[in-house]
Amino acid sequence: MSGSGKTVKAGKLSRRKQERQALNWTERGDVALNANDRAAAAHAYLQAYQLGSASSVVRLNLIVLGLELGWVAEASNALKNFMSPPFPASQAHNAMASYGLQQGNYEQAREMADRAVALDSGNAEAWNIRCNVLSAMQNRSEALMSVDRAIALAPQVSDFHYNRGLVLQSLERWDEALRAYEHSIDLNPHWPYAYLNSANIYVNRRDWPRAQVAMEAALALDRQTHYLLGSWLLTLMFQAKWEGLLEGMQEVLQGVEAGQRVTLLLPI
């Protein structure tokens, strides 16, 4: 390794578990990338790649981030596998759409995403990336149509249902968003952010007991992410559960002392 840290040994995992872990690492990479934590994103994409992810987007992100961070061997290996055997043209356009989205070049990303689905209307990942691009451009109705196409093609992919929930939540279609997150959780119960976003909807509805249940499910999976802890404290505060709140505040303060930033998600 050239600085990317500990990696997962794929050979000891069953194929199904390996695919699930690769998807989890891919989703963690996406979250880290959205937070501009490029080192964490690169590490997550590397884990997904080494677990056998076939996603062209994972490989392209690993190439770009690996070169930025000086992970020459990992980036070179991903590049070699990206080019040989060559991906279909739709996959290449899909990867470039993802890269354009990552760079904030939404018009170019939209053009690449449109080309990807025009070249292969059966490419579920391309429809999902197109949804992400359109969401970033605030074109939510068309984003919803795109992710619905992705789900119709690959209903077993939890990430597609999660993205559908994000679009519906931005449209304030709360009940439909909750159902989408439930589908995502059914397919991948190890992903904390579907629980988190469900909790946020319950917080906005002042439904504190359900918010607390969802937040604690998220925290059971990830107790390191600062905004998970912040949101959990908020649900305890509004229920006047002071003992739990005091314990939670002590945990958060330890995180602050360690350099974490805490964000409370207030109801709107």
The domains of the chain are located at 10-192, 193-268
Closest residue by Cα to residue 194 from 10, 2, 24, 15: 24
Quote the CA–CA distance of 195 and 181 in Å, as a whole number.
7
pLDDT for the residue numbered 15? 75
Tens digit of pLDDT for each residue in 163-209? 999 999 999 999 999 999 999 999 999 888 899 899 889 888 888 78
Is the model's pLDDT at 85 over the cut of 90? no
pLDDT for the residue numbered 81? 67
pLDDT for the residue numbered 158? 93
Domain 10-192 belongs in CATH node 3.40.1080.10: no
Quote the CA–CA distance of 162 and 157 in Å, as a whole number.
9
Query: What length is written for the chain?
Result: 268
| Class of domain 193-268 (CATH, top level) | mainly alpha
Is the model's pLDDT at 268 over the cut of 50? no
Is the model's pLDDT at 107 over the cut of 60? yes
Is the model's pLDDT at 10 over the cut of 70? no
Higher per-residue pLDDT: 16 or 261: 16
Amino acid (1-letter code) at residue 87: F
Closest residue by Cα to residue 130 from 88, 85, 172, 97: 97
Quote the CA–CA distance of 263 and 268 in Å, as a whole number.
15
pLDDT for the residue numbered 177? 98
Closest residue by Cα to residue 41 from 30, 56, 53, 54: 30
| pTM score over 0.75 | no
- Across 21-35, 113-127, 158-172, 237-251, least confident range: 237-251
Tokens of 117: 């689905």
Mean pLDDT of the chain: 78
Question: Which range scores top for mean pLDDT: 2-6, 46-50, 129-133, 248-252?
Answer: 129-133
The answer to whether 10-192 and 193-268 have equal CATH topology is yes
